[in-house]
Chain A
Amino acid sequence: MSLREVVYCGVCSYPPDYCEFSGKLKRCKVWLKENHSELYDKYYGSDDAEDVNALTNKLAGSSIGEEREGKLEKDLLKLQAKEENRQQRELQKKLSSKVIIKREARTKRKFIVAISGLEVFEIDMKKLAKTFASKFATGCSVSKNAEKKEEIVIQGDVIDEVEAYIHSLLEEKGLKDVKLEIIDTKKKKKPTTTTPENTK
């Protein structure tokens, strides 16, 4: 006797025989087909039934009777619709929020960059802070800002690099339309500091 290796669905995390109960069946099926086509054939039949609502032969042999099975299928469809709505709403929320990247002068030549508004995007702030710290070889931490929201604070004048990085991060998540607001306190001061009195 030896161990079994169960494949877990990349979408809902269940073993694929339970995907129909996850409310995410549509995406589960796409995932399974792409990643484990042999299992897809086993559970959903090899005929390319694009109609996810048609539960296939494999599942039809149930004991609970047509009436209860019908009700169950209705419930599962409801669950799926609910889940899809929820995802839609979440996506809308993400698309309508923005990330704020702010540069502040610490001293004349020292800057910090603060990033806020990331919490909506399921980004692990602590991990990202670590990434920045090693990427820019500088200090980087997560702290709460004035609105009690978490923000990442990086020591150093790295606003352009941060902007590019956040951009690619969001793009990876299919959210490239999310707005990045850049607040640069240096720019407001700098152009006017060329007053002759201050230059020695």
Chain B
Amino acid sequence: MFKKFSKEDVHSRSKVKSSIQRTLKAKLVSQYPQLESVIDELIPKKSQIELIKCEDKIQLYAVDGEILFFQKFDELIPSLRLVHKFPEAYPTVQVDRGAIKFVLSGANIMCPGLTSPGAKLPVSPGFEKDSIVIINAENKENALAVGKLLMSTDEISSINKGHGVELIHHLGDPLWNFSVE
């Protein structure tokens, strides 16, 4: 999603009204219920969310210059910086060590990278197709990417071929390196 993203893609920046700010926070919590207990720590009541509208209908939301989440369609997607602060709140899959460098180059994740001994998928019924997931890696503590399931996690393990996760955002991509002044 951010492969070719740069500062030139920014169309406008504006402050989000406090009523909308509340709506956005509530939406985040409804998408990721476990955020409820920490949402006011992640985005304190007195903080100001900034909306950065970009090319391709991408909208970034930043607090204090740090992009915390974004959206292209309806759903809000957390940035890795937000994920790292409270990773427990998001559906998580794990790739094996061999897949890390491919993920860091922005490639979609192939099913075998999610089903091998070093990988981890949730127990059945797992997550639905199209869920937003965060991606951890074998022997690593932190998430390295955010993606969207191209099939349900049960299908990933039963079919075990082809692309399992569409990669949206990863360590080192232009969004990761994006700085708001």
Interface residue A200 (Cβ < 8 Å from any Cβ of B)? no
B62-84 contact mask (Cβ, 8 Å, vs A): 1 or 0: 00000000000000000000001
Interface residue A14 (Cβ < 8 Å from any Cβ of B)? yes
Q: Is the interface of A mostly helix, strand, loop or mixed?
A: loop
Q: Nearest Cβ in chain B — how far from A79, in angstroms? A: 8
B2-30 contact mask (Cβ, 8 Å, vs A): 1 or 0: 00000000000000000000000000000
Q: Are A72 and B86 in contact (CB under 8 A)?
A: no
Q: Are B38 and A2 in contact (CB under 8 A)?
A: yes
Partner among B41, B139, B144, B176 whose Cβ is within 8 Å of the Cβ of A58: B139
Q: Are A17 and B142 in contact (CB under 8 A)?
A: yes
> Which residues of the partner chain A approach B88 to less than 8 Å between Cβ atoms?
1
Stretch at the interface among A62-70, A167-175, A183-191: A62-70
> Which residues of the partner chain A approach B171 to less than 8 Å between Cβ atoms?
13-15, 18
A residues 48-66 near B (Cβ < 8 Å) are 58-59, 61-64
Interface residue A4 (Cβ < 8 Å from any Cβ of B)? yes
Q: Nearest Cβ in chain B — how far from A44, in angstroms? A: 14
Q: Are B37 and A1 in contact (CB under 8 A)?
A: yes
Partner among B84, B85, B104, B118 whose Cβ is within 8 Å of the Cβ of A63: B118
Interface residue B162 (Cβ < 8 Å from any Cβ of A)? no
Chain B interface residue count: which class? 20 to 34
Q: Are B117 and A63 in contact (CB under 8 A)?
A: yes
Q: How far is the CA of A76 from the CA of B104 in the complex (A)?
A: 13
Interface residue B122 (Cβ < 8 Å from any Cβ of A)? no
Stretch at the interface among B45-53, B92-100, B153-161: B92-100
Nearest-CB residue, chain A, relative to B143: A15
Q: Are A15 and B84 in contact (CB under 8 A)?
A: yes
Q: Nearest Cβ in chain A — how far from B104, in angstroms? A: 6
Interface residue B172 (Cβ < 8 Å from any Cβ of A)? yes
Q: Nearest Cβ in chain A — how far from B171, in angstroms? A: 5
Q: Are A75 and B86 in contact (CB under 8 A)?
A: no
Interface residue B101 (Cβ < 8 Å from any Cβ of A)? yes
Q: Are A62 and B141 in contact (CB under 8 A)?
A: no
Q: Are A18 and B144 in contact (CB under 8 A)?
A: yes
Q: How far is the CA of A170 from the CA of B142 in the complex (A)?
A: 36
Interface residue B140 (Cβ < 8 Å from any Cβ of A)? yes
Q: How far is the CA of A59 from the CA of B172 in the complex (A)?
A: 21
Nearest-CB residue, chain A, relative to B84: A6
Interface residue A146 (Cβ < 8 Å from any Cβ of B)? no
Q: Nearest Cβ in chain A — how far from B79, in angstroms? A: 13
Interface residue B42 (Cβ < 8 Å from any Cβ of A)? yes
Q: Nearest Cβ in chain B — how far from A81, in angstroms? A: 15
Interface residue A164 (Cβ < 8 Å from any Cβ of B)? no
> Which residues of the partner chain B approach A59 to less than 8 Å between Cβ atoms?
139
> Which residues of the partner chain B approach A4 to less than 8 Å between Cβ atoms?
84-87
A63-B96 contact, Cβ under 8 Å, with A1-B37, A6-B85: yes
**What are 24 A-B interface contacts by the 8 Å CB criterion?**
A1-B37, A1-B88, A2-B41, A3-B38, A3-B42, A3-B86, A4-B84, A4-B87, A6-B84, A6-B85, A12-B172, A13-B171, A15-B142, A15-B171, A18-B142, A18-B144, A21-B101, A62-B97, A63-B117, A64-B96, A64-B116, A68-B98, A72-B98, A76-B101
In the A-B complex, the 5 residue pairs with the smallest Cβ-Cβ separation, listed nearest first, are A63-B118, A63-B117, A15-B142, A6-B84, A62-B97
Apart from the given pairs A64-B118, A72-B98, A76-B101, 8 other A-B contacts in the complex at a CB distance below 8 Å: A1-B38, A3-B42, A5-B85, A6-B85, A18-B142, A62-B139, A63-B97, A72-B97
